[in-house]
Amino acid sequence: MTERLEDIAQAMVTPGKGILAADESTGTIKKRFDSIGVENNETNRRDYREMLFRATEAMRDYVSGVILFDETIRQKAKDGTPLVDLIKAAGSIPGIKVDAGAKPLAGPTSRIEKVTEGLDGLRERLAEYYKLGARFAKWRAVITIADGCPTWNCVHANAHALARYAALCQEANIVPIVEPEVLMDGEHSSHDIDRCYEVTEWTLKTVFHELYVANVNLEGMVLKPNMVIAGQKSPKQASPQEVAERTIKCLKACVPAAVPGIAFLSGGQSDQQATEHLSLMNAMGNLPWKLTFSYGRALQAAALKAWGGKPENVAAGQRAFAHRAKMNGLASLGRWERSLEQAA
């Protein structure tokens, strides 16, 4: 495959395909494993991810790229094959999460607001990840809506960090996934869709201003935003059609047409909600960028449950993963229908 940033970014948003986020930190995957009673050790983490990467139909037909955690990009499958090579053999692009996590943002709102760390030493880490096979990277910033939040300090600090990260990625010939997430779940999630729209618009406009100042090549990046959706605790929930329409309106107001694609995060949505919203947006048509998915839990939850940590359940886990990947692949073309879920 070509090494041009623009070509890699286009391949990441290939119509009918999306990005598997398999970059859960050791702490996050522990929570997932706890839910199925599986011990969180390196072997089990390897076996679980190997199961996904060897799901031939899902990986070949519906997955354009895989975001990996630092441990995973260095791991080998049971037979000694590097996991990166399994991903490449399936025709997917290996990627890497490079941020060091969201930490409290110093100041009066530190109990609520966070800033993502990890810029120190990033240039050197990117060079190493490139040698290990990564051709794209991911950095997540989180914006919380609460009384008096987000503050300009939080929005600006996170947008600035995203831009610095993106510029360093492109210098290393790695495509940056720029992920500003306005949270819709958690302790502070009682906002309605109007407030989400307002904060998402503010965040995205600030991010693109910072990307411009940092001289980031928009044709060699992928945006990974939240959808415009009411908070989980909001008494006023919007219909799927309204979520799709408001999200598209917001993106059209903020995201330059030079960006090749937008790969949504699923946030706190259910598997099927995330799929339905994506399909409705693509069905609207006439969009300047490709819209697809970059889901973690919404692609993996069913597979994790079906696998349950048992070798004899690997095929069942792969079938569950293939189904969700196929549903989202159809959604990225605007062709998903609820009846297809029942048919599975």
Give the catalytic positions in this structure.
Answer: 179, 224
Q: How far apart are CA 225 and CA 129, in angstroms?
A: 24
Residue 177 contacts residue 67 (beta carbons within 8 Å): yes
Q: How far apart are CA 141 and CA 155, in angstroms?
A: 9
* Cα–Cα distance list, 185 to 142, 188, 212, 230 (Å): 11, 7, 30, 9
Residue 112 contacts residue 188 (beta carbons within 8 Å): yes
Q: How far apart are CA 29 and CA 106, in angstroms?
A: 28
* Cα–Cα distance list, 152 to 107, 143, 149, 255, 259 (Å): 12, 11, 9, 20, 25
Q: How many Cα atoms sit within 13 Å of 241 on the Cβ side?
A: 0
Q: How far apart are CA 192 and CA 236, in angstroms?
A: 6
298-319 residues labelled b (16+ CB within 10 A) or e (exposed): bbbbbbbebbeeeeebbebbbb
Backbone angles phi, psi at 274, to 5 degrees: -60, -40
